[in-house]
Amino acid sequence: MNTKEIMQIFEDNAYVRTGGSDQELRCAEYIREKCAQMGLKAQITPFPVDMATIQAAVLTVDGQEIPCKGYLCAGSGEVTAPFYYLRDTSPASLPQCKGKIVMIDGYLGYWKYRDLLENGAVGFVTYDGNINYADEDIDQRELRSYVSKGEKIPGVNINAKFAMELIRKGSKTATISLKQDEYVGESRNVILDMPGETEEYIILTAHYDSTSLSQGAYDNMTGAVGLLGIAESFVGKSHRYGLRFIWCGSEERGLLGAKAYCQDEEALKKVVLNINLDMIGCIMGNFIAVCSTEEALTHYIQYMGLEMGLGIRVSQDVYSSDSTPFADKGVPAVSFARISPPNTGTIHNRYDTMALVSGEQMAADIDFLVAFTQRMANAVCCPVKRVIPDSVKEKLDIYLCRKRDKNG
């Protein structure tokens, strides 16, 4: 693909594509058609996801209604209680949640929600955005099923400007009223197979969904385009290892597409490597590779960067993307990304548009990824051992909420 074709794909998909939505399906069909134009047959594979439609969401604090969005899949009901801002999760602060509607900083992760439940909170408020931005956007968030485990208290999300004002005013009492319809819907993976000379294969992944406020150009239509570019480079060429390309749905909702695919553990036994793309091609920023593998791969990639004249920072770690479910099932996985510096690129909000992306940088990043994939696909024996080191396993346990991080 040339730079003009690359940027046309971004223009064609400049809309919100949340997991399980009609817009996500529209993009899946677009990807399938782009594969067909290359003479390749891709399939759309649905998988079940929890869905909800908010009928009403109201937050009232000291008699004043605060603009908000209700948490999807957080049940329905109304609660009035003292308002409490949880500044930290120390033993001095958590017990004060009892019987209160609690506002927290950051995302409502598994352990923070467990803390709220165990300490008797009756509702919760989160916030996002930036007090210095002109907008008053509010992200549509959800209480994920692996977080709630069926224990639901009502919650809403507000803009950071309103959150700061509530604390400045010393707010005392809050009411959350939430009504929604919850059901099971469908998200979709798009899967393309390019058979090789052996039954073993390499899986390449990138998610194509976005968050509720975002066109998701940088995060992660860039990765989706990268997969198309890699697939195109193999058209009409033989390769030793088979290649399976998966454009994953609902990554932004908790890596749901990759997790759904990885449920077939028997099929994963034939997978020698996962190559994941999540946020490449931005105008500014440095290229990185995160290896959930033996340490040797980090050196291999560093040497490739030197050989090809591409600066790259490589680490042995867990990356918050579709590579993680594969590594958790024992498949060596590496994620590639180009990380934009602060204030030159942002994600999960209205500012993630194609204005952040460079066609020339996309092409350069894809060239490196093609070269790496070709080396792996044509190796006499995949050089990456099928082993996940204990240090990486521990980080996977923390990321997947099986173990609590002692440092935070």
The CATH number of residue 135's host domain is 3.50.30.30
What's the confidence (pLDDT) of residue 323? 98
Are residues 104 and 221 located together in one domain of the fold? no
H-helix or E-strand spanning residue 243: strand 242-248
Give dist(CA 181, CA 10) in Å, integer: 33
Give dist(CA 333, CA 290) in Å, integer: 8
Give dist(CA 217, CA 355) in Å, integer: 8
200 CB neighbour count, 10 Å cutoff: 17
Exposed (0-12), middle (13-18) or buried (19+): which is 365, by Cβ within 10 Å? buried
Residue 407 lies in a domain: no
What's the average model confidence in pLDDT over 146-151?
95
Give percent above pLDDT 90 in the chain: 98
Return the closest-CA partner of residue 94 out of 69, 115, 65.
115
Map tokens 């990765």 to a residue: 223
Residue 162 lies in a domain: yes
Are residues 219 and 336 located together in one domain of the fold? yes
Of 120, 146, 171, the residue that ends a domain is 171
Residue 180 lies in a domain: no
Are residues 215 and 151 located together in one domain of the fold? no
Give dist(CA 192, CA 24) in Å, integer: 17
Give dist(CA 120, CA 111) in Å, integer: 14
Are residues 242 and 297 located together in one domain of the fold? yes
What's the confidence (pLDDT) of residue 104? 98
Are residues 204 and 138 located together in one domain of the fold? no
What's the confidence (pLDDT) of residue 371? 98
311 pLDDT more than 80: yes
Give dist(CA 368, CA 372) in Å, integer: 6
Residue 404 lies in a domain: no
Of 148, 171, 194, the residue that ends a domain is 171
Q: Grade residue 249 by pLDDT with cuts at 50, 70 and 90.
A: very high
Residue 93 lies in a domain: yes
Give dist(CA 408, CA 399) in Å, integer: 12
407 pLDDT more than 90: no
What's the confidence (pLDDT) of residue 161? 98
Are residues 125 and 196 located together in one domain of the fold? no
Alpha-carbon dihedral 150, 155, 156, 157, rounded to 10 degrees: -70
Residue 341 lies in a domain: yes
CB contact at 8 A, 322 and 258: yes
Tally the C-alpha atoms within 13 A of residue 267's C-alpha that lie toward its C-beta. 9
Are residues 256 and 365 located together in one domain of the fold? yes
Are residues 198 and 101 located together in one domain of the fold? no
What's the average model confidence in pLDDT over 142-161?
97
Q: Grade residue 84 by pLDDT with cuts at 50, 70 and 90.
A: very high
Mean pLDDT of the chain: 97
Residue 181 lies in a domain: no
Report how many domains make up the chain. 2
What's the average model confidence in pLDDT over 166-181?
98
Give dist(CA 56, CA 240) in Å, integer: 55
Are residues 260 and 283 located together in one domain of the fold? yes
What's the average model confidence in pLDDT over 34-46?
98
Residue 349 is part of a domain; what is its CATH number? Answer: 3.40.630.10
Of 171, 202, 237, the residue that ends a domain is 171
Residue 30 lies in a domain: yes
CB contact at 8 A, 314 and 288: yes
Return the closest-CA partner of residue 200 out of 383, 387, 377.
377
Alpha-carbon dihedral 130, 131, 135, 140, rounded to 10 degrees: 50
Phi, psi of 280 (to 5 degrees): -125, 175
Written as one letter, the residue type at 141 is R
- Give the domain extent around 233: 3-50+186-399
What's the average model confidence in pLDDT over 319-340?
98
What's the confidence (pLDDT) of residue 406? 82
Give dist(CA 84, CA 241) in Å, integer: 56
Are residues 43 and 129 located together in one domain of the fold? no
Are residues 378 and 243 located together in one domain of the fold? yes
46 DSSP β-pair partners: 188
Are residues 383 and 254 located together in one domain of the fold? yes
Q: Grade residue 408 by pLDDT with cuts at 50, 70 and 90.
A: low
What's the average model confidence in pLDDT over 269-288?
98
